[in-house]
Amino acid sequence: MTATPADPNRGRERGYRAMLHRFRPARHQGMLIAIGVFVALFLTVDLISPGPVSYFEISFMSSGGATLALAALGETLVILSGGFDLSAGAVISLVNVVLASNMDYTDMEASVPLWTLVGVGIGMLAGAFNGFFVAFLRLQPIVVTLSTMFILQGITLLVMDKPGGFVSPSLGNFYVGDAIPEFLPMPIVLLGVVILAWLWFKNTSFGMAIYAVGSDPEAARSAGLRVDFTRFGVYVLAGGCYGLAGVFISAQTGSGDPLIGNPMLLQIFAAVVVGGSRLGGGKGGCVGSIFGAYILMMIVNVLLVLNVSAYYSTIAEGVILVLAVLGASVSRHSILAQHLRDARSRLAAARAGMLPRQLGSENRLLRITANPAATVARDAAARPSFRIRHAETLRFALPAYICFLLIVLVTQAVLGNAMFNWTYYNSIIVLSSFLAILALGQGTVILTGGLDLSVPWTIGLCGILLAGMVKGSDVALIYALPLVLVIGCVIGLLNGLGIVVLGLSPIVMTLATNGILQGIALIYSNGTPDGFSSPLLRWFMTSKDFGFTPVVVLVLILVFLGVLLLGRTPFGRRVYGIGNGQRVAELSGISVGSTLVLVYVLSGFCAALVGALLTGFSGQASLGMGDEYLLPSIAVVVVGGALITGGRGHYLGMLGGVLLLTALQTLLAGTTLPYATRAILFGLVVLGAVIALRERRP
């Protein structure tokens, strides 16, 4: 039997099909959309500009978006592996001040390769720090990188506490100059090299491992991939990208600024998402993120050409982030369709007189309720003792109180007159009042497995609104304070609806909300908040007419209500149920969606109340007044024994964390240590608490 000769046309056809399968548009949909949007925005800028876009404008735009593009590239690597990195902006700031504070003013021709290696090396060290805790100790990336962010911010302020310094012009000439004069800007060449490197890297074994780990880490581990090593390497590479971004922005500005990277966090996430990468890992790429960065830059340019205030930029970035994530999740199996199905299920259950998850289980329900008296008696007999029921709470909450007593003893030894001085304890309670209130809101969010990153500007906006409405009038306080609290609830409601109805990640939704609130605060105050606290609110926060400050009574009432809310109400039980597993909670009949919305409403209310109390304490409101409360609001919850992934914790334990960190802050304030050490210490305390109190793996 003779073999049929192979048809060369058929083989060629199979080759074409394989090529089309590899490069089919659906696989690169996000990147292609990002490129299309970028081209459309570029043409828009060309149309609305007074004249045609010149080479100078192209060079200016290419350098203006390069820092964000390089940082977004690093964040993309982390997100592709299924992680999060909130320390990117802090790394950029640190590299910037290190370069600006160590270059010689007389050295106009500093070595570009040397200082580039210094910046990249600093970033890689920060990435290795993150990667060690995430990959090998298996801590949550969010809490690790958030702690790293504050540690690096503290180190940055120790290196340079105000703008200044010097960056050699040689860096600017190299990174921001022309590769080919009047034809090709150097930033375009740099990003072109980066794109080529990425196209090669993603097809290497390590690059493919990143996608595999981001898609399904357990399957990747079963296939023989070194998941921990891959995650560690990703954070190191990402840190190097942040370091290069810090070098570029140093070359661009020619000086140092310890806060230069802080506003970039929202932009970085927005660029990654706009570029088509999926939060959660496994899908996307760095090319799309680079175009996403330039899309954001082009939008700001469009606003400037249209003479729109720069205060709207953070609002635009926040809205773009939400819309991009929402657009990426739209499909025939979208979250909206799921909620419609859930609504129909609840309606059918209501008609049957049972819980949604009990449909089809009528016989089991009848067996359970056939003899309710016997069921109650059996449950009472099986109820364990108080000590056994609260053993876990005591185990995780007591360390915070023990450490608080140790801090009091150290304060007595260092500063004296603390151990038996009521004035000291009154001050501790007053200073603790802000974190005690935030711990109730943020702590409840964490118990459900979420995180509220909109706390800083909820505090700031509500404080600015209150001061602007009151303007020193006690009469105006009567309507202004309730209105501000309602605004806080509305902010929380919007967060909750975005998370529940739109299916957005709590991190993304609350980060976007924080940026939007910042823009609203800047627009309302025109960059300079006016007004001041009313005398009554000032008296409430600072007076000692009764031997104690009146806010102490409010704190005691809120502590009682918080313990009651989380420990003795159906709402509290639903919160813990959701934290232990949303799917299990749904199967148990818990209304997960409405509970989550209420949780974020509570967090918004608490942040608004803190904004009002801070205004009364300081006498006025200021921009950024809530920035320093983000990490502490998380730290007190974690130090108090709560599990950062949800389901475990007690408000009394969180209160112990509040007292501990406030006493520690008071002790540091009485020493000669710089203010920046507080951020470093808070970050280290959170990391230490997460390590010490994490769940032990079998």
Residue extents of the structural domains in the chain: 28-45+53-328, 391-669+676-693
Using CA atoms of 71, 72, 75, 76 in order, give the dihedral in degrees to the nearest 10.
-140
Please report, for residues 24, 85, 123, the alpha-carbon distance to residue 82 in angstroms, rounded to integers and kept in the order given.
24, 10, 20
Residue 207 makes CB contacts below 8 A (sequence gap 6+) with 201
Q: What is the pLDDT of residue 267?
A: 84
Give the pair of three-digit tokens for residue 450.
């979420």
Q: Please tell me if the domain spanning 28-45+53-328 has the same topology as the one spanning 391-669+676-693.
A: yes
Query: Do residues 637 and 649 make contact, with C-beta atoms less than 8 angstroms apart?
Result: yes
CA–CA gap between residue 615 and residue 637 (Å, rounded) = 24
Q: What is the pLDDT of residue 613?
A: 93
Owner of token pair 């939400």: 322
Question: What is the tens place of the pLDDT at every residue in 316-363?
Answer: 878 887 877 776 665 434 444 555 555 555 555 544 544 444 444 444
The sign of the CA dihedral 77, 81, 82, 85 is negative
Please report, for residues 217, 262, 302, 506, the alpha-carbon distance to residue 203 in angstroms, rounded to integers and kept in the order given.
19, 33, 37, 32
**Closest C-alpha among 187, 193, 210 to residue 277:** 210
CA–CA gap between residue 407 and residue 688 (Å, rounded) = 17
Neighbours of 604 (CB within 10 A): 29
Q: What is the pLDDT of residue 1?
A: 47
Give the pair of three-digit tokens for residue 553.
């009574």
Query: Do residues 634 and 687 make contact, with C-beta atoms less than 8 angstroms apart?
Result: no
CATH class of 28-45+53-328: mainly alpha
Mean pLDDT by 10 residues, the chain (698 residues): 52 47 56 81 79 79 88 92 89 94 79 91 95 89 86 91 88 86 86 90 89 87 88 94 94 89 84 82 84 85 77 81 70 47 52 48 40 45 54 71 82 68 80 91 90 91 92 89 95 92 85 90 86 88 84 90 89 88 80 90 95 90 85 83 80 87 79 75 78 62
CA–CA gap between residue 596 and residue 509 (Å, rounded) = 13
pTM of the full predicted structure? 0.78
CATH code for 391-669+676-693?
A: 1.10.3470
Strands (E), 199-344: none
User: Phi then psi for 360, rounded to 5 degrees?
Assistant: 85, 0
Helices (H), 132-176: 141-159, 169-175
Give the pair of three-digit tokens for residue 628.
């320093």
Q: What is the pLDDT of residue 603?
A: 94
Give the pair of three-digit tokens for residue 222.
């079963």
CA–CA gap between residue 664 and residue 681 (Å, rounded) = 9
**Closest C-alpha among 443, 400, 453 to residue 662:** 400
